[in-house]
Structure formats: C-alpha cells, structure tokens
Structure 1
C-alpha cells in the first residue's frame, strides 16, 4: 500500500475548508508548530479513515466549534490500482457513512462492517502494525521492551499477517465445540445408564427388605398414635372445665370501664391545656404600659424639626462636594508628557550623535565598517536630519501641551479652594426621622395593645371558671368507674387462644384416629409384585441402550482427537505454524535491531530475542536489564526497535508501505547524539519513502530542507501557515 494523500474537513481542530497533505513524495518533511496547533491531527485522520479508530472516542473526531460535517479522505495505491477511503461523522448529508472507491467506482459494501473488512483485506496492514511500526505517535506508541510477552507476540503476528491462521484456529474451536458437547453428553448418558441399572437393582433388594421394615414400622406408628389420642383426650377434658364465653364477656365489660377512665383522663388533660395563664397576661400589660411611658418622655415633633434643618445643610454640602468632584475630574495628568519629553530629548541626542559619527567617517558603512560610496553615507545623513527635525517639532509640541495643561490645572485648584470655603458644619440629631416616625407608630400600637390585654384578662377569668366546673365533673365520674372495676381472672388473649386450642386438639385427635385407619389399609397392601416384574424389564432395556451409547462415544472420541491435533497445529504452541513463522522472523529482527543500535550507542550494545520474544541485552559482552538504562538510552533503544519493525513491515509487505511517521517521538528524552543518529537513518530511508517528523521544536527547521508549519488562527482553527 502506497499512500498518496490525506484530505480533512471539520476533523478535530481543522475548519470547514478542506485541507490536503501530499503523501506520495520520497523524502523527509518536518511538521512543526506549537503544542495543540494540530500537527498530529493529519496522522490521526489517516488512522481514523483507514481503521475507524480514534483515541478521543467516536465523536471526538468532530470539530468542537462546527460540531458537524466531519470528513476525511485517504488515497492510496496497491500495485497499479488506485483506491480512496472516505469516512464521515455527524455529516448533514452522509451521516456516519464509510465509502470505499477503486478509482472512481464505489465498491462500498451494504454495511460499514463489511466495507471495513474489504478495506482490511486490501491494505493487509493491521491497526497494531500501523501504530507500532509505521505511524509512531507519542500518545499511541507503546514501548516494545516495556510491553508484555503477549503484546510482543501480537505485534509480530500483525506484521506477519497471521490473521487467517488465527481465524482458522477460532473456526476449528467452534467446530470442535459441538463434538466436545456430544462426547460429554454421551459420557454423561453412559454414567446415568450405569447409575440407573445399579439403582434399579438395588431398589428391588431394598424393596423386599423395606416391606418387612415397613410392617414393623406401621405397628410401632399405630401404637404411638393410639397413645397420642389418649393424651389429647385427657387435655380436652381438662380445658373444658373453664367457661370461656362467660369469662370473655366479663373481660369485655372490664375493658369498657378502663377505656372510659382513659377518655376522662384525656378530657381532663385537654381542658387543663385550655386554662389561660392570667399572670402572664398581667405581666404583658405591665410591660406594655412601661413602653408607653418611655415613648411619651421623647418630644417627637421637636426632634422632627431638628432633622429637617440637618437635612438642608447636608444637601447644600453635597452640592458643593459634587462641584468639587466635577472640577477635580478636569485636572490633566502630566506624567506621560514628562516621559515623552525625556524620550524625545534622548532620541535627539542619539540622532545628533549618529549624524556626527557618520559625518566623521563618510567613506565607511556605520553598520558593518566596510568602505562604501560617499553618496550613500551623505544620503543617510540627510535622512537622519529629516528624522531629527521631525523629533524636534514633536518635542516642541509636547512642551507646549505641558505648559497649557499646567495653567489649566492651576485654575481648577483655585476654584476648588473657593468651593471648600462654602461647606457648613451640620450637627446630626439624636434620632433619625424614620426612628421618630417608628416611635410614634409604636406608641399608638402599644396603647391599642394595652386595651386588648385588659379585655383578654377579663375573658380569661370567665373561661377558666367554666373549665374548672367541667374538671370537677370529670373527676367525680372517674372515681365512680375506679370503684366499680373488677380485675378479670384470665386474660382475653389467653381465653381466645384456649378456645382455639380446644378446637385444634379435637381436630388433631380426629386426624390421628384417621391415621390409624390409614395404617391398617397400608399394611394390607405393602407388597407390590407388579412393581418387581416391571423393574426387571426396565433393567434389561437399559443394558441394550448402554451398548448402543458406548459405540457412539468411541466414534465421537476419534473425531474429537482429530480436531485437537488440528488446533495444536494452528495454535500459539511451539509445534504450531505461528511459532514456526515467528521463530524464522526473530532471527531477522535480531539482526536488524543490532544493525541500528551502533547508531545510538558508543558502547558495544547488542540484544537477542528468543523464540518467546524474551530479550537478553549486553553492553560490552556483560548482560544487563532494560530497566538499568537511563530514560534517554531507553528512548534510543525503542527507536532502534521501531526502525527494525518498519523494516520488517517493508519486507513482509513487499516494500508496499511508503509512509514512516515520528510524531513527537524525537522530542522524548533524546540528546543531540540521539537526534543526529535518528536523522542519519531517516535521511537514508527518505530516498525511497515518505518520512514525516512531527515536532514543536522550531530549531529542527535547520536540519530539514522541507517543512510544513502548522498554526491556529484567532478563531481556534488549525491551518497550514506555510510549506517550504
């Protein structure tokens, strides 16, 4: 697959206008810009368009500002055929469609899933291969040496395109499942049949022994029931000595008296609550009359006149102060004029100094010190004299402005002093107008309250007298009821339980008599000859079924072993195809990694991966662990492995992949040597590949002849600022 271009519109930070990046060139391009400007977005778009995967979720691809019409198109070639993938999200016309074209012909399938399968089959490069060895993003990339053994194997499987073997393995597993179920079911059926035959045979023997035991048990049970009937009859006679109905009637009469006593207590409590606290009312009346005396000691009318005079003086002073504030607003600040005059004076001094210097050296360039024609320096003197005259005119204007502002400020200060002499002293009254009006209202309210309290006291005395009369009557009735009540001998619940218990005992006694009759009937029919004969026939039929089932089991077991052998061949085990291919690949991988390591390390560093992709690292022939490396050394090691994986992809896909991307990978812990090593390798790769280096480091421009500068405009949209 040779990528040709990527076009994006309303994808992440890019706007509604279509942005295109060429992917068909051979060489190296630097994508540079500030963090968040949208450099990596082009390669996120390629991954999303081809695989439909995005680290920010399904709707994370849509521009947050436009919120719709997201579209990405990726063009590529496979052999001589041209293809293009167009993927939409929240598009007003195409919704969330996935379209696939061969040339101009739409070869999309009926569903997006089927179209994705068609794309995967044509490009042949799996997603994991793409992000681990082609588009190396600092966000998506996972260090090979820091990943698990299982993840390493997945990376190799994806590069080798062993997907079909995995699919066939999974298909075999599904085909084997019904065979496993059949074998399990047949084994279970045989076990069940054995158990059934043994159980029925044991049942016949147990049945005969059981009949004998049953007859003896029936005899014991009958004797026990007869004893229980005698005990129940004795209890019933004992309970019948109490006249339950009479005792319950006596209890109900007692309950009525108790209920009435409680009602009287509640009525007494309610009436006591209705009694009025006359002492409280008298205390409130005394407090009210005291408040009236306090308010009448203040001359409210006199203080209202004093408040009016105070307000007039205060209003006059406020007008004067307002006039002072308005005049103060007219004062001009002159600090900036002083600064400007100083700046102009400094500029005049510098210009005069420059002119003098040039006039003293008319045959020499004032900037570089080389000899120049006198005509050029004379023209430079003339130009600087023009500038000097302009600055002098500006200085004169600033001085005139400063002088005028100072005269104006003096006039304003004189006017303010005159106004301050017109301010009068105002003595604030003891009480405000609002408080005085409130006092007048409260005095009236307290007088009305005094009249109401006197009326309440009169009514309370009359009401309390009526209540005391009722309370005396309640107390007399309660005494009569207390004297007449008689405590019952038995509790009502006990009597009701006793009545129910007598009925239950009679029912139980009758039930046990019926059980005795049933035992007599069962004893007569305890041996069943027909049961014995039928059971023996059933045992014979089960033995025939057992023979047939055993033949089926042998046949199914042979079929199961065939599937197990095939599964072993297509599994991840050492004897499988996958391990065979990976073992061959590991040797090439080791050679390629060890080819790149000297570019990054001065010491003799080598690595050897075994067939399970477990590594042994040596420095100067001494074995070390990956964890012992510094962060920068680990990054160098990771990049060497990434180059090796890219080489493997090129090798196993017949060099059809033309793209290699380092998305801020070079910004991670690389020193100058590490960067130069990477640059030397990708410079060679750029002869036959499209290589992109993505970085926010501006100084990288010095290294790369071709670069694309990405920026964000004031509205927050990304765009290609320039391409060199």
Structure 2
C-alpha cells in the first residue's frame, strides 16, 4: 500500500516563492474550500506533476511556472511504501527530477525517462491514467472510466488487478518473436547459402574427378596407341632385318670386283705395252738378236688377242658393276629403313615412358581433390550446424507462440479478469445502492457495460443524467480502490474529490456520498474540494482554505 504523507510546492501556478504544504495523513477527511481562482485545485496538479511530470488538468508545462516569479518551480511529495520512505522532487527553471529512498537519492546517472519508468513501474505500480482513476475524481480535464475507450478501460483494470505485467511480457515477447522471425529468416538464408555452397563444391569435385578420369583415359589411350605403333614398328623391323639377312653384303662383292678390275687393268696395260714393244722393237734388248718378222707378227697377234680378251672382260665387269651398285643401293636402303625404324621405336619408347610418368602422377596426385573434399566436409558440418540452429530457432518460435497465446488479451489476463468481474460488478452495484441508485450494472470481459433498471430495461451510461453519471463514476472509483486494496497493487490512502458535491449531486446525493465516504475506513485520507463550504464544513474533521492575496494563492 502507498501511504501519501505530505506535499509541498512553490512558484507553482498562482503559488508564490514560499512553500505551500499539505499533510495528507493528518485527518481522515479534509474539506478544501476557497473562491474561484483561489488555487484550491492546485494540489491535484501538484500531486500529478510531482509523480508523473504532468498536471491533472490540461495545462502546458510553461504555464505551470508562476508568471510573476517565472522561475524556481519546485514540487516535493513524500510517501511510504511498506517500510520504505520515498520522496520525489521535481522542478522547472532549473529542471529538477530526484527520487529519494530512505534519504538516499536513486541513481543520479540514469536518464530521466528511465527514472520515471522505474518510479511508475517499480515504486508506484501505477501510471498517470490508473492513478487518476483510483485516487482522483475531478470535474475538470478528467475522463471518467465509463467515457474511456475499451483499450484504456482494459489498461486501468489490468493495473488495478496487477496483471499489467502480462501485457509487458506480451510486448516483450512480441518484440522477441519479431526479432526471432528475422533471425529465422537469416538462418534460413544461411541454410540456403550453405546448401548452395555444398552443391557448387560437390559439382566442382565431380568435375575435378571427371577431368582426372578424362586425363587418365587420354593418357592410357595414347600409351596403348604407342604400344600398338611400337609393336608394328618392331614387326616391321623384324621383317626388314630378315630381308637384310636374306641378302649378301654387295659391298664385299664390289670389293672383289674392284680387285679383279684392278688386276685386269694391270694385265691390259701390260699387254698393250708388250704389243707396243713388238710393234716398235726390231731386236731383243737382252740378247741383241734381231726379231724376225714372223715372230713379231705372231707375238703381236698373241698380244692383240690377249688385249681383246682383257677388254672384253672389263666390259663384262662394267655390267656386273651396275648390278652390284643397284644391290648396294637396295642394301643401303634396307639398312637406313632399319635405322629409321629403330629410331622411331626409341622415340616412342621415350614418349611412352613420359606418358607413363604422367599417368602415375595423374592417378596418384589427388591432393587438389582431397583438399576440395575437405572443404566439402567443412561445408557439410556448417550446413548441419545451421540446420541445427534453424531447428532450435523453430522450437523457440513454437514455444514463444504458445507463450504468446497465454499472454495475449484472451489468455491468462482474461482468466484473471473473468475471476474478478463478478467481484467488480458486485462492488459497483453495492456502492450504487449505497448512494440510493438502484440499477444493475454489469461489465463484460470486453469491458462493455450493461445497465438495467429494476424493470429490466437496458440503458447506456450516456442515457443517464449528470447526477446519475456522477454516482456511477463514484461507485467505480470506490470499486477500483477496494479491488486495489484487495490485490495490494495500487492501493493508497489518498482520495481526492474535486467539486464532486458542487455540480450534479443534489442534497440527498451529497448525504449518500458522505455516508459512503465514512465507510471506506480510517486508513483513507479523503480530500474534498468544494465551493459549498458552508454546507459541508460540519461533515469533515479538517478544513483547508485557499485565498488570493496580492495575486498569490495562499493556504490558511
């Protein structure tokens, strides 16, 4: 429970540079009176400004500063929550916002917005809208619960029932789901990229293996072609060698012919020389005897015959020379062919050996493919991890969706509200009956009202008179305070009623409301702001009067 103890302000609206101070817990009931414009409603704005940085009425922040002094606006409010004492100090020109707990100021380095949020959510556990529904019932700049839209009605009731945490959780969860949805999209993209990388890598490896096979097959094919060509050459070499061996070496024969020719040439020269001797010589050079004519003719004839034989032999030898020369040419060609074949065989053997080395290298050198396969394994691991992450994100999304169905308005909150709605309706009707207003008021789960008369006729809030509306607003105000006290959520000792008795309530209505105020307990400190001081002063234990002195609002 929040127990408001004291508020003081200066240079606030029409208040001057001296503090005006009100003790909230001094009396169970206090009547606040004064002429119009005397500043009796200033306390409403001061309370709201101190706690929520905005006045109760629609007044801009610049208009809050006293127009004469125009500086050093300060509002201080003190209250107790359990055993802890709090004090909030807020000012303008200079700007001040300080929150004290048991005399120690809270984190000075925190942003103003964060401190305000902490004040509302962790200390007061009320926002401006809930506070003005539970603590204040005013006639100016005030929207009664029944005139609020459905969303605002829900917000107030959730605050009172202390279930706004589910709304906060739901918002956090929605933000988390939105972030998770983006993360899932990112992970799905990662999965697709990983799959694409793995596919490209797999195709690349297949192409490397295909290229390797094509290269190996081509080398093997070339080697086989070389083996076949070498075999053919070896066969041809054997045939040519056999052909060579089938021929005698014609050069030996030529050498024999050369020797025979030389011998014939020598004999021919000798025979010619002897013939010439017998032609030109008349006596023997040795014995000096004369040579007879017959002897000479016989010898000349003999030598001539010999010469003719030798010349015929040489002529026959020339024909033989031609045959031998042809044989030599054929023989030399066979030898050249054999050498050429042998050279081709050696070249092809060398080429085959080089191809064999290339084949061994191509078959055994798998470093590139192994490296790419290692990369593929790494990609597969990456894909597995990414799929695992995707699965985890999907499971988290599933759980979040399930949690979201519990946290949304139709989930846990509706169940809690459904439990309290009968109590709320019962209390509203109880307070209406206490104010002599006998209708049956009913709020449904969507916070739409149904109001029936004793004759079961249905009415809407807008169809009632202003006095009847005032009683409904008061009944709801007391109901919210009772529920808050039951829940110990937004329960407080302070109740501020601004001109509730001045406008729409008749004398009977005033008596009914006063009787109702007397039943709410000694723990409540009620402040009633009214023009009807002469009619109401004997109904309150304490009275505060505001008046204007030299254009400043002063409390007496």
TM over 0.5: yes
* Structure 1 residues 155-304: aligned runs within 5 Å: 155-185=156-186
Instruction: Indicate the residue corresponding to 1:670 in structure 2.
Output: 505
2:543 aligned residue (707, 718, 724): 707
Distance 2:179 2:193 in 1: 20
Instruction: Indicate the residue corresponding to 1:217 in structure 2.
Output: none
Change (3 A) 1:611 1:717: same
Instruction: Indicate the residue corresponding to 1:126 in structure 2.
Output: 127
Instruction: Indicate the residue corresponding to 2:514 in structure 1.
Output: 679
1:641 aligned residue (476, 488, 508): 476
CA contact (8 A) 1:30 1:692 kept: yes
Change (3 A) 1:552 1:83: closer
- 1:691 deviates by 0.3
Instruction: Indicate the residue corresponding to 2:399 in structure 1.
Output: 562
Change (3 A) 1:178 1:101: closer
2:79 pairs with 1:80: no
State the SS of the aligned residue for 2:130. helix
State the SS of the aligned residue for 2:75. strand
State the SS of the aligned residue for 1:53. coil
- 1:80 deviates by 2.9
2:524 pairs with 1:657: no
Instruction: Indicate the residue corresponding to 1:693 in structure 2.
Output: 528
* Structure 1 residues 96-115: aligned runs within 5 Å: 96-111=95-110, 112-115=112-115
CA offsets 1:159-205 (integer angstroms, 9 cap, x no match): 12334323322222222223211334566788999999xxxxxxxxx
Change (3 A) 1:553 1:4: closer
CA offsets 1:383-436 (integer angstroms, 9 cap, x no match): xxxxxxxxxxxxxxxxxxxxxxxxxxxxxxxxxxxxxxxxxxxxxxxxxxxxxx
Change (3 A) 1:182 1:99: closer
CA offsets 1:74-107 (integer angstroms, 9 cap, x no match): 11122233221111111xxxx2121222333333
- 1:630 deviates by 2.1
Instruction: Indicate the residue corresponding to 1:620 in structure 2.
Output: 454
Instruction: Indicate the residue corresponding to 2:320 in structure 1.
Output: none
* Structure 1 residues 348-363: aligned runs within 5 Å: none
Distance 2:140 2:107 in 1: 31
Distance 2:398 2:104 in 1: 49
Distance 2:144 2:391 in 1: 51
2:441 pairs with 1:607: yes
Distance 2:473 2:490 in 1: 22
- 1:45 deviates by 0.7
State the SS of the aligned residue for 1:59. helix
- 1:591 deviates by 1.2
Distance 1:117 1:14 in 2: 29
* Structure 1 residues 303-318: aligned runs within 5 Å: none
CA contact (8 A) 1:32 1:698 kept: yes
1:58 aligned residue (48, 58, 61): 61
Q: How many positions carry a matched residue from both structures? A: 371
- 1:567 deviates by 1.6
Instruction: Indicate the residue corresponding to 1:43 in structure 2.
Output: 44
Give unpaired runs (5+ residues) of structure 2: 198-375
Distance 1:654 1:631 in 2: 31
Distance 1:191 1:623 in 2: 65
CA offsets 1:235-276 (integer angstroms, 9 cap, x no match): xxxxxxxxxxxxxxxxxxxxxxxxxxxxxxxxxxxxxxxxxx
CA contact (8 A) 2:161 2:489 kept: no
1:632 aligned residue (432, 456, 467): 467
Larger radius of gyration: 2
State the SS of the aligned residue for 2:64. coil
Instruction: Indicate the residue corresponding to 1:326 in structure 2.
Output: none
CA contact (8 A) 1:101 1:108 kept: no
Give unpaired runs (5+ residues) of structure 1: 197-540
2:116 pairs with 1:116: yes
CA contact (8 A) 1:701 1:707 kept: no
Q: Give the CA RMSD over aligned residues.
A: 3.1
- 1:147 deviates by 1.9
- 1:619 deviates by 0.7
Distance 1:717 1:43 in 2: 17
Q: Please, what TM-score do these two structures have when normalized by structure 1?
A: 0.47
CA offsets 1:573-612 (integer angstroms, 9 cap, x no match): 2x23x2222222222211110111112335x311121222
2:437 pairs with 1:598: no
State the SS of the aligned residue for 1:712. strand
Instruction: Indicate the residue corresponding to 2:4 in structure 1.
Output: 3
Distance 2:387 2:489 in 1: 55
Change (3 A) 1:686 1:553: closer
CA offsets 1:635-688 (integer angstroms, 9 cap, x no match): 221211111112122222279511111012332322222221111111233633
- 1:623 deviates by 3.4
Instruction: Indicate the residue corresponding to 1:151 in structure 2.
Output: 152
Distance 2:381 2:394 in 1: 18
Distance 2:399 2:520 in 1: 49
Change (3 A) 1:570 1:67: same
State the SS of the aligned residue for 1:586. helix
CA offsets 1:301-346 (integer angstroms, 9 cap, x no match): xxxxxxxxxxxxxxxxxxxxxxxxxxxxxxxxxxxxxxxxxxxxxx
Instruction: Indicate the residue corresponding to 1:141 in structure 2.
Output: 142
Distance 1:547 1:84 in 2: 58
- 1:16 deviates by 0.4
